[in-house]
């Protein structure tokens, strides 16, 4: 079957790989229809993704169609269209037993730690399939990305009417923004890219936008009658921003690191203590988060139309992929159309 392999940084090949055997008990064979491309894939291509082995078949944001199911599989049937939970958890470790499968100690993410979806068909544990009769294939491929925001906003338990600061409006920031707004928060965006600011202003109901990163606390206080936001989300993945963000949080508030940095992070101990703030990380998402995403899209509460800016078939993708690394290309989400 046709398969796209990232052989080494900067080098994809399109090659034939063996067809899988029929599904065993609890398994489902799915045809890959759409693959969303995200920062992880771009970093893998650039060679800047930490702990990444080559060759690797990328693809963890999947819209699929069930081809065949093994014994004991009852919740999906051939022909069903599904989103995929790409997190292969062990089900036995401490976090798994706590229901935190998103941070399983031995987590394998499809397309990152193990081969993913950039191929014709893929065998999966059927339990990783989330069916929807309503979502389009493109929307199914967006579910995982939106799940990042769903989980992060859930981590902070954002309340209706609460003032939230979102730092960074890349795709992860947009998924946080989506769920902060759904929670009924008023959202201030801190972002320096004019393209992104413009995009967000046109598409989302923002309370305010801060475009200057100097003395952000004073700017926030001016907007909020001398107060600071009670929930701050950093979706930049830049260590500098993540360290600064401590200063933006109200006493008693929480700060959520959604973006990932490879660097050390330090912060002022007394300032952290004085605030009695809660610092949270948010990693991946759980199946319940993704199920929630599907429910919101099905009910029309999430407009997915702004998301997909670029599409390509396998051959075009091989040619276009390097251009998607360039922020100037205006990519929010590129989607690979497999079949």
Q: Which residues bind Zn ion (CB under 5 A)?
A: 38, 89-90, 93, 96, 104
* CB-nearer residue toward Zn ion: 278 or 309: 309
* CB-nearer residue toward Zn ion: 35 or 188: 35
* CB-nearer residue toward Zn ion: 250 or 285: 285
Give the DSSP letter string of 93-129.
SHHHHTT-GGG-TT-EEBTTTB--S-BSEEEEEGGGE
Closest separation between CB of residue 208 and Zn ion, Å?
28
Closest separation between CB of residue 333 and Zn ion, Å?
9
- Between CA 233 and CA 126 the distance in angstroms is 33
Q: H/E/C letters for each residue in 54-89?
A: CCECCCCEEEEEEEEECCCCCCCCCCCEEEECCEEC
* CB-nearer residue toward Zn ion: 93 or 209: 93
What's the chain's Rg over C-alpha atoms? 20
143 near 83, Cβ under 8 Å?
A: yes
In degrees, rounded to 5, the angle at the alpha carbon of residue 280 between the alpha carbons of residues 275 and 284 is 165
* CB-nearer residue toward Zn ion: 65 or 89: 89
Closest separation between CB of residue 145 and Zn ion, Å?
6
Closest separation between CB of residue 104 and Zn ion, Å?
3
Closest separation between CB of residue 183 and Zn ion, Å?
22
- Between CA 288 and CA 16 the distance in angstroms is 35
Tokens at 282, concatenated: 């948010």
* CB-nearer residue toward Zn ion: 124 or 185: 124
Closest separation between CB of residue 106 and Zn ion, Å?
6
Give the DSSP letter string of 119-158.
BSEEEEEGGGEEE-SSS-HHHHHHHHHHHHHHHHHHHHT-
Give the DSSP letter string of 257-304.
E-S--SS-----HHHHHHHT-EEEE--S--HHHHHHHHHHHHTT-S--
Which of 106, 74, 61, 76 is closest to 88 using CA atoms?
106
192 near 213, Cβ under 8 Å?
A: yes
Closest separation between CB of residue 109 and Zn ion, Å?
9
* CB-nearer residue toward Zn ion: 93 or 123: 93
């Amino acid at each position: 079957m046709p398969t796209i392999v990232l052989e080494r940084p900067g080098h994809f090949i399109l090659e034939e790989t063996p067809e899988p055997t029929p599904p065993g008990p609890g398994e489902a064979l799915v045809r890959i229809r759409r693959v969303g491309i995200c920062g992880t894939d771009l970093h893998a291509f650039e060679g800047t993704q930490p702990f990444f082995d080559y060759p690797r078949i990328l693809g963890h944001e999947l819209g699929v169609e069930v081809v065949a199911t093994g014994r004991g599989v009852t919740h999906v049937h051939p022909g069903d269209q599904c989103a995929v939970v790409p997190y292969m958890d062990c089900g036995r470790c401490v976090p798994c037993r706590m229901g935190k499968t998103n941070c399983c100690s031995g987590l394998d993410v499809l397309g990152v730690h193990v081969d993913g979806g950039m191929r014709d068909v893929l065998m999966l544990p059927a339990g990783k399939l989330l069916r929807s009769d309503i979502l389009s294939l493109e929307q199914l491929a967006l579910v995982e990305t939106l799940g990042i925001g769903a989980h992060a906003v859930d981590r902070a338990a954002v309340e209706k009417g609460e003032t939230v600061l979102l730092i960074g409006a890349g795709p992860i920031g947009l998924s946080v923004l989506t769920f902060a707004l759904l929670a009924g928060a008023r959202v201030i965006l801190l972002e320096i890219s004019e393209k992104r600011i413009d995009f967000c202003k046109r598409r989302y109901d923002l309370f305010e936008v801060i475009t200057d990163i100097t003395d952000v606390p004073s700017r926030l206080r001016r907007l909020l009658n001398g107060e600071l936001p009670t929930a701050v989300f950093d979706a930049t993945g830049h260590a500098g921003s993540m360290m600064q963000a401590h200063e933006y949080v109200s006493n008693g508030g929480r700060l959520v690191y959604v973006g990932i940095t490879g660097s050390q992070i330090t912060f002022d101990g007394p300032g952290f203590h004085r605030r009695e703030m809660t610092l949270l990380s948010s990693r991946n998402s759980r199946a319940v988060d993704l199920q929630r995403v599907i429910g919101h899209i099905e009910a029309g509460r999430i407009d997915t139309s702004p998301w997909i800016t670029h599409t390509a078939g396998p051959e075009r993708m091989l040619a276009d992929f390097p251009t998607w690394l360039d922020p100037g290309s205006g990519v929010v989400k590129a989607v690979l159309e497999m079949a």
